[in-house]
Structure 1
Amino acid sequence: MTAQETGLMLRGYGLTTAEFFYRMPDYRHVLNSFVWQDYDLAPDYPRLFRFIEFWQDQIEGPLHSVRFTHRKMISPGEWRNVVGEFTLH
């Protein structure tokens, strides 16, 4: 985990995982899936919806459905800065 990811989590971002089901451009009867992950803000999910708009504008395979989950890893009240470390043995 990088410092940038920790900073995002402290500002309220959580890990959003989305599974896109889309039709193959040449074989419309075949469904394929694509998994996407990014840190995003619930309940508006601006990054997820920006990616969906990008998909609809730039990718040839039309979307069938999108299934997603969001997990907030930490919140500002759960994190504390520890400045000492004790080593045993």
Structure 2
Amino acid sequence: MMLKKTGKYDRQIYRSNSKNIHLEVQYKIVICSHTSRKNDEIDDFGHTICIDTYAYGGQWLTCLNVETREFVKASEKGEILEGHL
């Protein structure tokens, strides 16, 4: 049995018979935005990126381009910050 790889970070399973199974996993990155970072910084842990920079608390609203890792942060005062992780 072989499952087709459908994307850059998907799993592949190769089975030559019922006793011999090979599993290769390419890890996905989790982007979370419901755990506020009250220091207004994006946290990149490698496997998880937290982009909630506490907009509802008067800090920054952040968006992230997951392909290029570029981000834009906007404040209530109209300030804009751009950067790259």
* TM-score, scaled to structure 2: 0.24
Structure that is richer in strand per residue:
2
**RCO comparison, higher one (Cα < 8 Å, 6+):** 1
TM normalised by structure 1 equals 0.23
